[in-house]
Amino acid sequence: FSTMSMPDVNSLFAGRTIFLTGGSGFVGQVVIEKFLHAVPDVGRLYVLVRPAKGKTPAERWAAISSGVLFNRVRADCPSALEKVVPVEGDITIDDMGLSEENLKRVLEETSVVMHCAATVRFNDTLRSAIELNLKGVERMIRLCKRMPRLEAFTHCSTCYVNVDKTGEIEEKQYPVVCDPYKVIEGQGWMTDEMLEGITNAMSKKYFNTYCFTKHVAEELVKRECVDLPTLIFRPAIIAGVWKDGIPGWADAFQGMSANALGFGTGTVPRMPCDSSNPIDIVPVDVVSNMMIVCTAYRLHLTAQGDRSMPTFHCGTSHLNPIKIQKYIDLTGTFLTEYPLEKFIFAPTTGTRGYPALENALHATKQNVLGRSLDRLGGMLGKKPFWERTFMKVREVYTVFIPFVSKLWIYKADNMVALIERMQPEDVEKFDFDVRKIDWTDYISDFLFGMKTFLTKNDIMSDKKLEVSRKSVKIHQAVEVVANLLLGWLLSVLITGSFSSWALALVIGFSIYYYLNCGMFRRVRIGTIEDYRERMHEAMRSQPINNNHKA
């Protein structure tokens, strides 16, 4: 890692053309917004966008740029929006699916590439994950090699490329388990059944196809980018905005927001794990700011003739860890004070139990309760809903539970060193110093943001909040009765008597306690009044309009 101070970020990007993939995703949108608002001299941003849902790339970008995330750009520097040029393409097609005209422009003009596109479906098929996360990287590298002006290529990976390890994980590339070229070749001739067999074997070590293909993709980058000015960037589990933008803003149920939704709707009430381990949550604005500065640093290295391939972790488990239990306490307290407007079961938050038992409970909900409710609904003329819903919930549980199953400390020494090399004004403008995060304030904002921008609750209505609180109490009462009924049925099976009331009460209340009680400690959290005020200020006093469909 170079010890030289670097010039200011704006000057390093001045006049440059950037080619960005994944620009319509959660992180990509925040990166674009930050470039437009904080890097005034950047030249142009070519953003690769797939046509989707009958919309052209231009229409998708228009929908994205009209959302609340870009409020401050429209207010402070509206002309900057003209720097974004959406180009139609697809990372599953050679030359990224660019038209001949767009390909010519991208190749001739681009000096910075930021590759963020990937499938974030952890349970995707191995064939699809290889196509997007491995072959997509291969196609991007081929394009980079044809760019005469290229001075920085940032490959966005993930901290979880090394899930097979435990303890402290260094900012370096570890030996891989297989040859990336053979994986790519195999995808071409293997049947789905053969790939499924590999998936089953691989998942024991790498959890899912996402982590595995990201792991192999880094090796491909290592081998293919020897002569390219490359940097590998590894974020941890990404959550809503911390301080650079609208507090708590997010646009998709991914990672932590999907987990919080499971707690809030009562559908994933427990995540059995060692609650003393840290959970590596990182705000999306930290990821965006650090990725931009890392890319600027790569430009600086290129100017100095440095051909190294540095790796950066962007997470919190090393410098400012939050233990899982603290996250549980904050989330449980929040959902008690500020429950969601819609939920299936009373909100519950905890780490009690055993993974196999929880999986069995989810399977029972899907195959027994879900089917029964759908049959009852069918008699009333309603479409099937519950079995499919519980199936999705079970998928969320099985996808997330591995990420709290081990102790990982993702060392972030390079993050600290990079901050020390930055100009003082850039340290403030592109703040990614995770040591400053107050977890009580941040988790509160993250959850308020989920309510506001994802579940679309009316955050300004005290009346609806009171209705939600009363609804929770009603659900809790119903669940007590349901568990007492279950206790009675079990007592009948055990004793053969329909009047073993004492045993029924003991069993019923024991089940209810296990499932719902005593799993978190009430702690201080942020207030809704404070969040409303800060959100209103960050929104530039504009009404909430986050319903864009990109």
pLDDT at residue number 542: 62
306-316 pLDDT per residue, tens: 999 999 999 99
549: pLDDT strictly greater than 70: no
pLDDT at residue number 150: 98
Average pLDDT of the chain?
93
Q: Which of 122-136, 228-242, 262-276 has the lowest mean pLDDT?
A: 122-136
Average pLDDT over residues 317-346: 97
Q: Which residues sit opposite 49 in a β-bridge?
A: 88
Rounded Cα gap, residues 377 and 370, in angstroms: 10
For residues 78-114, one letter each, b for 16 or more C-beta atoms within 10 angstroms of the residue's C-beta and e for the rest, the string is eebbebbbbbbbbbeeebbbbeeebbebbbebbbbbb
103-156 pLDDT per residue, tens: 999 999 999 999 998 877 777 888 999 999 999 999 999 999 999 999 999 999
Average pLDDT over residues 164-192: 91
What DSSP element (H or E) covers 463? helix 462-495
User: Predicted confidence band at 1 (pLDDT cuts at 50, 70, 90)?
Assistant: low
Rounded Cα gap, residues 505 and 372, in angstroms: 25
pLDDT at residue number 118: 83
547: pLDDT strictly greater than 50: no
205: pLDDT strictly greater than 90: no
What are the start-end ranges of the H helices in 278-423? 284-303, 324-337, 355-364, 371-379, 386-400, 413-421
Exposed (0-12), middle (13-18) or buried (19+): which is 497, by Cβ within 10 Å?
exposed
190: pLDDT strictly greater than 90: no
Average pLDDT over residues 221-229: 96
Average pLDDT over residues 248-265: 91
User: Predicted confidence band at 197 (pLDDT cuts at 50, 70, 90)?
Assistant: confident
21: pLDDT strictly greater than 90: yes
For residues 300-323, one letter each, b for 16 or more C-beta atoms within 10 angstroms of the residue's C-beta and e for the rest, the string is bbbeeeeeebbbbbbbbbbbbbbe
479-524 pLDDT per residue, tens: 999 999 999 999 999 999 999 999 999 999 999 999 999 999 999 9
266 sits in the region (left: phi over 0; alpha: psi -120 to 50; else beta) called left
2: pLDDT strictly greater than 70: no
CB 177 within 8 A of CB 213: no
385-399 pLDDT per residue, tens: 999 999 999 988 988
pLDDT at residue number 505: 95
Q: Which of 49-53, 77-81, 156-160, 356-360 has the lowest mean pLDDT?
A: 49-53
Specify the pTM: 0.95
